[in-house]
Amino acid sequence: YGCNLTSPSRPKYWRSVKHNNPVFRATVDSIKGGRAVLCLYGYSNQQPDGLSFPDDIIVPDVEKVAAVTLEVMTLRMELDMLIKDSHPHPEFFERIIPSLCHQGATLIQSDSMLAIDTLVIPPEERMWERQPQFSLSLPLKPSLSPGPAPTSLTPTALTSTLQAASCSLCGSAPSLLCPPCGSIPLCESCDLVFHGHPSRASHKRECTQVQRPDNCTICGIFPVSAHCPTCVQRLCSECDRLYHSHPGRTGHSREVVTSNKPTKTTSSSPSMWHCVHCTTENEMQEVLCVSCDRPRLAAAPIGLEETLQPSTITEWQCKSCTVVNAGSSILCEVCERPRLATRPPPTPVRPAPLVTDLPRDRDTPGTQWVCQFCTYANPAFATAVCEMCDLPRPDPAPMPTKHLPPSPVKEAPSPPIRPQVPLTEDPDWKRQRLMKDEGQRLIQLIREGEKKGVSPEEVYTSVCVSGGDGISPCDWLTSELPHMLDEICAMATSVRQDYKILHSGTPTESPTTGAGGAATDGGVRLSRAEAKQAWLSAEGSTEKAVQHVLRERRAKVRELCSLGFSDVSRCEEALRLSGGEIRGALSLLQRPLLEPFHQRIWSDLPEPSIDIHNPDKQRVCRRLLAVYELPSWGRCELALSLLQDPGAQYTLEDVLQAVRESHDRDFIRRVLAKECPICLSVFPHSKMQSLTSCQCSVCCDCFQQHFTIAVRDKHIRDMVCPVCWEPDINDPEHLNSYFSTLDIQLRDCLEPEVYDLFHKKLTEQALIKDPKFLWCSHCSYGFIYDGDQLKVTCFQCRNSFCAQCKKPWESQHTGLSCERFQSWKRENDPEYQRQGLAGYLRDNGIICPNCRFQYALSKGGCMHFCCSQCRYQFCSGCNNPFHTTCTVAQCTVTGLHAHHPRDCLFYLRDWEPPRLQALLQKNGVAFNTEPPHGTQAGLCGVVEQKEEGGRQVDSPCGAQTQPGQAGLCDKHYREYLVSLINGHAIDPASLFNPNEVAVACRRYQVDDRRGEAEDDRMYYSRLRRKLIEDVPLGDKVPRKK
């Protein structure tokens, strides 16, 4: 206990100690004062079944427990040294162990016998006895009777003294002496416990001359009953019979020996009890002996009947049937008696008849028989049934008799001969034997009947009726039972008719029964099945069967009448046809009532519609519940009330679908009255269509009409919600998922030719995204080109163009790259030279980043451009998309917008031309300031997209030109300079003023916090460098390849 409490990993239930714990009983409660040591540990709360720590103590006091544990271990070691007489100062313990004083006196006597002087310490010099001692009583050696020590003892006198003394531990008669332990006397049980210690296991003990019970020299178990002087053997009766059956020992004469059993002594202390096996004295609350673990009420060991059980807890022997069971089992595996139960008292038997032979002992061979089921030894003269398991004794096989020569043992004088009484058979045994035979015969008949499909009840009843006259029950049931059943039916009919005559006074003719057991007149009609059931219930009695079948018939008729069938004759006929079964008769009686229902179900006519105005609401609700499979009866009543609402015109299908989804009346009314935002008509929710990209709902007609017009007359990107115009077509992820679900919705609502056209446009939209897709520069036809040549011929207009620069093909382009061909054209083509920078802007026009369709237009004016081929909306300066749903988390703009880089024309068009020219000069890029020769000055000729009359047209700019701007207007000259800046990837941040630097940093989320002791020049220089390093230029801005 101390080690467990001081361990870091204490046991789960360390807070309490139970009194019935084997460890507690063996190590604590067996020592006086052991509970006081547990109180020092902390187990101070006294419980009904043990000890426990107080509730306010969370963990034990480890230091205090360790100190007490150390004291206990030290005391244990010193006591072991005292027991082995190896303690250097045994006189320290004479005060608390008085037996040490008497042991010292005995040692003084031995020393005086051996002429050895001993120094005696006076009591007044024993200073240790004045100190307080910790009292602990131990089961050590009891003190010998005090008296004057003789001066000398002879060995004979010493031996006689030891023989007269008692065991030094338990006080019983000693049988062994241990010289290494100081020749202390011990009995066999105490010697087994005392020398079980590892340090004393090698001690050699000497036997004393104490008289012990004389057992057989061969088996050593049973007491001696004969002594053979010739063989010098003392044998029991069985060993004597076997041993002297040898031909060489048949002439030996034996003497009869009578054994005297020692009388038992009882304990003088009422609070203690002695174990009859090991003679250990135990306290009254102990159930098992602390030494041998035997129960308190166990019988004493008797030589012939029982042997001592080994004191082990791994297995135990049943006191009733002598079977050895596992130590963990509580009940015996054979007789199921508890472990602590004693042997049951012998069953009182009738006096056996007197015989003239010599009386044999009950324990001698031949007077008992062993049960083969539970191995219990029963007396042969008592009964033929086992006293333990109540099973019969098997018939013994005839044993071969062996004629042995007569034993020359001196025979005792024979008793007077009494007249022999004839043996009488036990009536109880005879009755049990008869019951067993009859039961076995019935079981055999039942097994035969089961093989032929006959129930055990029929077999038993047929045996009772036939009386076992030699006929097989199965044959009797086949030949005789039908006639008996017909007789029961006839008797029941006659009894019923006599009852009617008695009460009505009208005689009727005698009825006759047919083969089915039914009466042919108007009387009661019975079936053979009913008669057979009544016959089995009456166990074959005909009169009781008639009464039973009439009583059952009246009860069944009353039950059918209580269910609504008042015609008694029809009820009885239904019972006859169903064999007396209520369920079958009910099915027969209900069949005519269900005939119209069956005809309506199996007819080919259409199902009649539900009349919601039918006054029988229960009938209407039943039809709704059965036909339309509504969840509950309450939903049926709700649907009927909605259909009967005079203020609303709902169809049955709409109401049923809404009722299946919800049980809330207000919610159902809202679902059934949805307004279309296009045509403003009211429809139920089931007749409304909605897209997955938004929450808008339109009626099915408007949904079909909108998408039909969009497919026929508009672009594929115009096929969005007609109410909110979602989703954003510029988002490719939303576009793919949107069209995949829209395809499923349009499959059922569009006409076939319109749906095919939708698929064609959807396929073209997917082809445009292919990297090998090319648009013809002469017409609006597009196709996929797999070749490697620059010259490509359109399949539609049969004109050729360059696959790389998308310019119309000319013969001079053959063998030249696109850049060299463009340079040659600027130098040699008069028309190109006449156009000047306007032609340059046209050649470097707008290219759609989505479908790569090229427009020979300038980028000036509105930067928002919408591709006419794919309807992609983008910035013509940086090619970034325009959208309404921005993907940038920090963006606060909610309308249509795009995010432009700092070198986009969207920002640089606000710079003055001299500032743009200074940026180009700083980076060493040349630019034009004078118009080409032969060009008409005054008006700008750059072609741009304009909106005229509600449509977009391409026409020259026509604005006034300025000197020094190469024959272009101010807007297009700035576009020309920005195209050079973008082409050479020049960063305009190098010319940003402080205000522009701060605005750009805020626009692109650059950290603009000012440092400590940092002036404006250093601050803006650091921001400019950080802007250039952290925010790159636009990745979609057109650059020179």
**Active-site residues: which are they?**
862
The Cα–Cα gap between 172 and 887 comes to 103
Give kind and range of the element (H or E) at residue 793: strand 791-793
DSSP 184: E
Helix-then-strand count for the chain, H and E: 32, 29
- Residue 695 tokens read as 């929450």
The Cα–Cα gap between 290 and 23 comes to 11
- What are φ and ψ of residue 291, in 5° steps? -95, -50
Matching residue, tokens 């940038």: 888
Report the amino acid identity of residue 711: V
Report the amino acid identity of residue 236: C
Say if residues 586 and 560 touch (Cβ distance below 8 Å).
yes
Say if residues 870 and 853 touch (Cβ distance below 8 Å).
yes
Residues with Cβ within 8 Å of 577's Cβ and at least 6 positions away in sequence, in order, are 527, 584, 585, 588
The Cα–Cα gap between 658 and 669 comes to 9
Does residue 683 sit in helix, strand or coil? strand
- Give the CA angle between residues 790, 796, 800 to the nearest 5°: 25
Dihedral angle of Cα 374, 376, 380, 385, to the nearest 10 degrees: -40
- What are φ and ψ of residue 995, in 5° steps? -65, -40
The Cα–Cα gap between 965 and 977 comes to 10
The Cα–Cα gap between 106 and 115 comes to 14
Beta-strand runs (E) in 864-940: 864-866, 873-875
The Cα–Cα gap between 233 and 215 comes to 11
Rg of the chain taking only CA atoms, in angstroms: 61
- Residue 177 tokens read as 């002496």
Matching residue, tokens 């076995």: 440
For 230-234, the CB contacts below 8 A with 24+ separation are none
Cis peptide before 727 (omega within 30 of 0): yes
- Residue 1038 tokens read as 């057109």
Burial class (CB in 10 A: 0-12, 13-18, 19+), 866: middle
Say if residues 476 and 462 touch (Cβ distance below 8 Å).
yes
Say if residues 489 and 513 touch (Cβ distance below 8 Å).
yes
- What are φ and ψ of residue 769, in 5° steps? -80, -5
Say if residues 68 and 5 touch (Cβ distance below 8 Å).
no
Matching residue, tokens 């794919």: 870
